[in-house]
Amino acid sequence: MTLAAVHAMLAAMETTLPPAFPPLSPDDPRAFLRALFDAAIESVLPGPAVLRHLPSPPKGRCVVVGAGKAAAAMAAAVDAAWPDVEVSGVVTTRHGHAVPAGRIMVIEAGHPVPDAASEEGARRIMSAVAGLGPDDLVLALMSGGGSATLALPIDGLTLAAKQRITHALLRSGAAIGEINIVRKHLSRIKGGRLAAAAYPARLVTLAISDVAGDDPATIASGPTIADGSTAAEALAILDRYRIALPAAVRARLTEGGEPPGPMPDHQPDHQEVHLVATPMLALERAAALARQAGLATLILGDCIEAESREFGRVMAGIGQSVLRVDQPVPRPALLLSGGETGVTIAEGTTGRGGRNSEYLLALAIALNGGRGLWALAGDSDGIDGTEAAAGALIGPDTLERAKRLGLDPRAMLDSHDSFSLFERLSDLVITGPTLTNVNDIRMMLIL
């Protein structure tokens, strides 16, 4: 896509969704769920979200920095909106999520494990904010995935060692908040250190939240946000999940770690932080459209964290309760939830899957072909884990269709091979990179 095409796309974006929406059809619940999913993502696209929250232009220069799956699209919106402002900068994004951003350099980097481009991007960003004055503006564009695409290991920690630690944490079942505490204490840019480097320039952070509770300090591990976590907390997390550390790094953390960025009680008065898109915004948009279609809706929460297969069993119980006794909402109904479930993977496991497809397969098995329930779950960034799908769909016939193809759903769940099952069924939800990220969107339709 050319820069002109990106600018045209941004100019055409509306801040509200079009009123047209397909009516509820019990004969095609899968199409209905997919339409809701697409509408939820449209409500949190980065271009309009950034344009609604741009600060006043600076007297001096504007240096744009950022990281995450939405960073390039956010940067493109800034470049298009401020043609007469002296704009420069660097953002990092996941491989495959880049769009041209004009005067702002875009670096594609590794995710969910950092790579050499993640380190190079972090170095360029720290250089870009050096030597600025109080009349300059640093506009920090942060979104989910930024932790991996922005990597500047502390002294004594190699990129290879950090990759190993990240990989082990991701497979351990640790919550994303725990993982990001470790990331902060193994980094020279996260945990407010970028904010310290940008001083005395005015600093405005625009963030798209993909974390429980929408805490800006957790989004992309908070490069511009004062951090109150301690090295001792990071060590405790690593020990809890039996993650080995190089001896020199363990000694450094035991002694208190790297000098922190600004602490919470010393948040700079020249800094602003704005959440421009959140998980709840996407869930509320889907709920509003479902209500227009005549459904009772219930948002169970936007920050649910649990083991994927366990949450699938829980949701099966709730769905069956709606079917039997119209509780906690009467039929026809739509149950929604957001957040990020996890998958604990044993060493040697070779299955293909993601947290959303694993949740759905567990849900289908627990429902055991029960009539009247359909579900969709997908990652709002378009990539469920590392596979080329956002998620998948299930219905009352999922298990029966799988068995007709000679598939064993329980065995595939045990081997974390849910992607392969839904691929064979042609039930994957494929969007491609959406260039935004407000975490997972899960929907259960009960008729």
Contact 247, 205 (CB under 8 A): no
| Lookup: tokens for 81 | 């909106």
Cα separation, 221 vs 192, whole angstroms: 9
Note the pLDDT tens digit of each residue in 247-275. Answer: 988 998 898 877 666 655 555 567 899 99
Q: Which residues are paired to 274 by β-bridges?
A: 206
Cα separation, 125 vs 258, whole angstroms: 19
> Which of 89-103, 184-198, 339-353 bottoms out in mean pLDDT, i.e. has the lowest?
339-353
Give the SS3 label for residue 303.
coil
The pLDDT of residue 260: 65
Note the pLDDT tens digit of each residue in 140-166. Answer: 999 999 999 999 999 889 999 999 999
Note the pLDDT tens digit of each residue in 51-93. Answer: 999 999 999 999 999 999 999 999 999 999 999 999 999 999 9
CA angle, 392 as apex, 386 and 396 as ends, to 5°? 150
H helix runs in 293-354, sequence order? 308-325
Torsion of CA 175, 179, 181, 186, to 10 degrees: 170
Q: Residue count of the chain, please give it.
A: 447
Radius of gyration of the chain (CA): 22
Cα separation, 436 vs 355, whole angstroms: 18
User: pTM for this one?
Assistant: 0.88
Domains of the chain, CATH where assigned: 28-44+279-446 (3.40.1480.10), 46-277 (3.40.50.10180)
Q: Respond yes or no on whether the N-terminal peptide bond of residue 332 is cis (omega within 30° of 0).
A: yes
Contact 323, 286 (CB under 8 A): no
56, 132, 253 from 220: Cα distances, Å: 25, 23, 21
- The H or E element containing residue 273 is strand 271-277
Number of H helices, E strands in the chain: 17, 12
Q: How confident is the model at residue 381 (pLDDT cuts 50, 70, 90)?
A: very high
Note the pLDDT tens digit of each residue in 195-220. Answer: 999 999 999 999 999 998 899 999 99
The pLDDT of residue 308: 95
Q: Is the pLDDT of residue 25 over 60?
A: no
| CA 66 from centroid of its chain's CA atoms | 15
Cα separation, 137 vs 132, whole angstroms: 8
The amino acid at 357: S
Note the pLDDT tens digit of each residue in 433-446. Answer: 999 999 999 999 99
Instruction: Please compute the mean of the pLDDT values over residues 2-7 and round it to a whole number.
Output: 50
Closest by CA position to 306, among listed 346, 354, 349, 359? 359
